[in-house]
Amino acid sequence: MEPRIGRLLAHNPSAFTYYGTQTYLLGERELAIVDPGPDLPEHIDALTVAIGDRKPVAIMCTHTHRDHSPAARPLAERTGAPIVGCPPLALKTVGPRADASFDGDYTPDRVLADGETVEVDGRPIVAVATPGHTSNHLCFAYGDALFTGDHVMGWSTTVVVPPDGDMAAYIQSLEKLRGRHDRIYYPAHGDPVTNPQQYVRHLIGHRMQREKQILKLVREKPRPIAEIVANAYPGLDPRLVTAAGGSVLAHLLDLQRRGLVESRGEEWIAA
């Protein structure tokens, strides 16, 4: 992508991953591998070839969705590098706190708190805590580039789905990026973002507009989430209806916390 920043695409395209997960290799003589990706043997082989004779010193995950972290352990075993980054997250695959998209096998060697660093060739990579998409999401700053994982993506808005996804936290984490001066974002999915400030302003505006729209629909009459989705997302790809329902729920829970809506059985009503 530029000196000291390489990118390798995993072959896991889908309605949620675009062309697939993009793994980044940061460094010159030493390397940090950001978002190793899904546990696909061909991707791990390709990463090993890309690493070449450079020395991996950290395998770093922005969060623990299954398209980001499962390759960490096999890559650590192959290279000897430690897994460093986001904390593990214990979500069950069944029950009220269930979310099957989480990697329950993720076991980091070192967890980075907000502002903590890893050094590669003597240059720091700084963890920037950005909860919202998931509660354990980190971005990584390297020079004036920010590796944004799924917090900010280059092709689509980010899915924020309860119970772990939190809309208020997500918007606060977008505001946090507005206070930074990054030159470029490298997301895990989609193209680099070369106008970060403008793009983040646009994302915040988009969520505000969505919230206004949901509030208006609920104020017209009590509605179930499916009806809000049908009204707020006309022409939506059927594969994304469940995710859109999750995002609407995330907005509703945030509005409920602020005393603007209430749930009544399956329906949501204005408070």
**Residues 30 to 69 in contact with Zn ion, rule: CB under 5 A:** 65
Q: Between 67 and 254, name the residue whose CB sits nearer to Zn ion.
A: 67
269: helix, coil or strand? Answer: strand
87 touches 62 (CB < 8 A)? no
Looking at the DSSP bridge assignments, the partners of residue 25 are 6, 33
Within positions 139 to 178, which residues make up the interface with Zn ion, using CB under 5 A?
Answer: 150
Q: Whose Cβ is closer to Zn ion: residue 147's or residue 268's?
A: 147
Size of the site for Zn ion (CB under 5 A): 2
CB of 254 to Zn ion, least distance (A): 19
The distance of closest approach from Cβ of residue 164 to Zn ion in the complex, given in angstroms and rounded to an integer, is: 10
Identify the CA nearest to 68 among candidates 163, 150, 154, 186.
Answer: 150
Question: In 10 A of CB 211, how many CB atoms?
Answer: 17
Residue closest to Zn ion when measured from CB atoms: 65
C-beta of 103 vs 150, nearer to Zn ion: 150
Contact string (CB under 5 A) for Zn ion, positions 177-196, x = contact: --------------------
Q: Which one, of 85, 105, 89, lies nearest residue 97 by Cα? A: 89
**Tokens for 23?**
């793994």
- Of 89 and 214, CB closest to Zn ion: 89
Residues belonging to the chain: 271
Binding site for Zn ion (CB under 5 A): 65, 150
